[in-house]
Amino acid sequence: MANVTQRTILFLIADTGAGHRSAANAITTALKLISQRDQEEWQTRRQGSKESGQESEENRNDSIYPPPTYRIEIVDVFEEYSRFPLREVVKLYGPTIRYNPKLFGDLFHRSNREGTVLAANSLASPLIFNGLLRLFTTVQPDVIVSIHPLINFVTVRALRKLGLHIPFITVVTDLVSVHYAWFAPGVDGYIVPTEQAKELYLKRGLDPQRVHLLGMPIDPKFTRAVDDKVTLQRKLGLEPGIPVALLVGGGDGAGGLPTAVRAISQARLPVQLLVVTGRNRRLYAHLQRTHTKLHVPARIFGFVHNMPELMHAADVIVTKAGPGTICEALSCNLPVVLSGYVPGQEEGNVDFVLKNEVGMLALHASELVNGLRRLIKPGSPELQKYLRNASQVSRPGASFDIARCILSYLPAPDQVSVWQSSQWQRRQRMMSGRLRSAIRIRRLRGRLPRPILRSPVMRKPQLRVRELFSSDGDASES
């Protein structure tokens, strides 16, 4: 029996917004908590077996071989492994949705079809294909998890070229408006957040056995117990008994926060505000200077790490239609008022909120004020309906379910990694000396101090595809 002590899980993301990395971090935290629990249970069983002095053969093997630990790497593949101009094109996502969202919506809808996706992948593939091969051969993952739609088709091609069967899983982080690029034929498993996303998958004619409806990955801290609402409100400097509205603009502080704060203040609604500006330091500074002039009490925060406490202290949340924030709010049984959305990509999120009756859409200041006025009214039937539905729709433990699903694709504990197989040994003999050096450098990087890692000497070598396998006649990819 093999003594497997560690498995490697590789997450592929792109920082085109906070959502993809947040999802990867949420799953990673769940994986670590599962691993910690497994290790503790193994230690308990082992100690119990020693104390009893009676062990079956099965228990003896179990006590000898601990459960595996997990080495987890999260990689922004476009930033770290793609070439010009693909890396720069991907960076246009943020400025486009901020300054010309209508243009982004048009691009989303025009590209959301098979022909456009295949053509775009043909153009982009040569700019990232070799980088993916280098990434896989240096990290040597036991399972690969994609959390971005633009990575999936080219990853399938790269794995086929590599000639090794490494399980490849896609975690979809769009609730309803699932772009065609998310579902690439050849992926081993697809994890989707909603029934609507699953229906789109099935309409593509893909294998129904490979899709798992598990929910949206949110930070496991949303599953932990918190203080009661009154205690949290006092902790945050609020006055219990007065309705609390939480205003969130996303990680970058976008979403019309100043307009919403101004409208609520001018309407003199009987509410207290918790305002989270995210990474928008300029907005944070502005609101800190001016919040004493508001006609409603307001607490101003920048980027926060206690969002579960803020949500449990609030009675309603006002936010743009980001899928992560919506699912976090529902896990805290918090009704949602959507103040904006990204055309195309987030349109389905609006439909999700409205059709499940867990909130409302308020794109204009007057709609926001009127909607909040109805929700904060004592005994509001609309608020009670949203609360009931939120508890039915939410999946606060989704990250744990997703983590367990990913772990199910790993090799069995008594099996060696594909990277230790004779097949990989044969492939290695065909590799160029330059790539072998890249693999050794990658392994060394994990043991070096950060200042040395930033040295130009330690920068990743740029390999051409034809240099990957020095004697592989069909190793070129066009």
Tens of pLDDT, residues 281-315:
888 999 999 888 999 999 999 989 999 999 999 99
Please tell me which residue, 220 or 249, carries the higher pLDDT value.
220
Q: List, for residues 66-111, the tens digit of each pLDDT value.
A: 888 999 999 999 999 999 888 888 888 878 887 888 998 999 999 9
For 341-369, the pLDDT digits (tens) are 989 989 999 999 999 999 999 999 999 99
Q: What angle do CA 321, 324, 329 make, to 5 degrees?
A: 80
Name every residue whose Cβ is closer than 8 Å to that of residue 196 and which is 6 or more positions away in sequence. Answer: 175, 176, 178, 348, 352
Q: Band of the pLDDT at 216, cuts 50, 70, 90? A: very high
What's the confidence (pLDDT) of residue 90? 85
- CATH architecture of residue range(s) 224-396: 3-Layer(aba) Sandwich (3.40)
Structure tokens at 294: 């508001």
Give the domain ranges of the chain.
6-217+400-429, 224-396
Backbone angles phi, psi at 92, to 5 degrees: -75, -10
**Residue 265 contacts residue 258 (beta carbons within 8 Å):** no
Q: Given this model, what pLDDT does residue 101 score?
A: 87
pLDDT interval class at 46 (50, 70, 90):
confident
H or E element: which one contains 145? strand 143-146
Query: Is the model more confident about 347 or about 446?
Result: 347
Q: Left if phi > 0, otherwise alpha if psi is -120 to 50, otherwise beta: which for 253?
A: left
Q: Does residue 441 surpass a pLDDT of 80? A: no
Asked if the bond preceding 258 is cis, omega within 30° of 0, the reply is no
Residue 461 is predicted with a pLDDT of 44
Q: Which of 15-24, 42-51, 425-434 has the highest mean pLDDT?
A: 15-24
Q: Which residue has the tokens 């309803």?
A: 176
Question: For tokens 């805290």, what's the residue?
Answer: 332
Average pLDDT in the chain: 86
140-147 average pLDDT score: 97
- Structure tokens given for 250: 């996303």
Looking at residue 48, its pLDDT comes to 75
Query: Is pLDDT at 2 greater than 80 in this prediction?
Result: no
Selection from 35, 138, 136, 96 nearest residue 406 by Cα? 35
Classify 73 as helix, strand or coil.
strand
The pLDDT, as a whole number, for residue 234 is 95
Percent of the chain scoring above 70 in pLDDT: 84
User: How many H helices and E strands in the chain?
Assistant: 22, 12
Q: Which of 12, 400, 17 has the alpha carbon at shortest distance from 219? A: 400
Rounded Cα gap, residues 363 and 367, in angstroms: 7
- The more confident residue out of 410 and 463 is 410
Strands of 359-361's sheet, edge to edge? Answer: 298-301, 272-276, 244-248, 316-320, 336-340, 359-361
pLDDT at 1: 44
87-96, 134-143, 172-181, 311-320, range with the lowest pLDDT? 87-96
Tokens of 390: 């939120």
What is the percent of the chain where pLDDT is above 90? 66
Cite the beta strand spans of 333-435 per DSSP E.
336-340, 359-361
By C-alpha distance, which of 394, 244, 236, 400 is closest to 325? Answer: 394
Looking at residue 476, its pLDDT comes to: 36
At 262, the pLDDT band (50, 70, 90 cuts) reads very high
447 Cβ neighbours under 8 A, 6+ residues apart? none
Enter the DSSP assignment of 431.
B
Look at the block and give the residue holding tokens 């993952």: 141
pTM given for the model = 0.86
Q: Give the pairing of strands 298-301 and 272-276.
A: parallel
Kindly compute the dihedral angle of the four CA atoms of residues 227, 233, 236, 242, in this order, to the nearest 10 degrees. Answer: 170
How far is it, in rounded angstroms, from Cα 276 to Cα 249? 7
Beta bridge partner(s), residue 338: 319, 361
Residues 38, 26: Cα–Cα separation, whole Å: 19
- Separation in Å, CA 275 to CA 219, 236, 256, 297, 383: 20, 12, 12, 11, 21
- Say yes or no: do domains 6-217+400-429 and 224-396 share a fold: yes
CA distance 347 to 386: 20
Strand partners, 10: 73, 144
Question: Which homologous superfamily does the CATH classification assign to the domain defined by 6-217+400-429?
Answer: Glycogen Phosphorylase B; (3.40.50.2000)
Count CB-CB contacts under 10 A for residue 161.
21
Strand, helix or coil for residue 128: coil
Rounded to whole angstroms, the Cα distance separating 135 from 297 reads 51
Q: Which residues are CB-contacts of 252 (< 8 A; sequence separation ≥ 6)? A: 17, 18, 94, 98, 278, 279, 280
Q: How far apart are CA 319 and CA 210, in angstroms?
A: 33
Instruction: Return the structure tokens found at 7.
Output: 């498995």
Q: Any idea of the CA torsion for 351, 357, 358, 362, to the nearest 10 degrees?
A: 60
Q: Which residues pair with 169 in a beta bridge?
A: 145, 189
**pLDDT at position 478, please?**
31
Regarding predicted confidence, which is higher, 6 or 188?
A: 188
pLDDT at 132 over 90: yes
Alpha-carbon span 466 to 42, nearest angstrom: 47
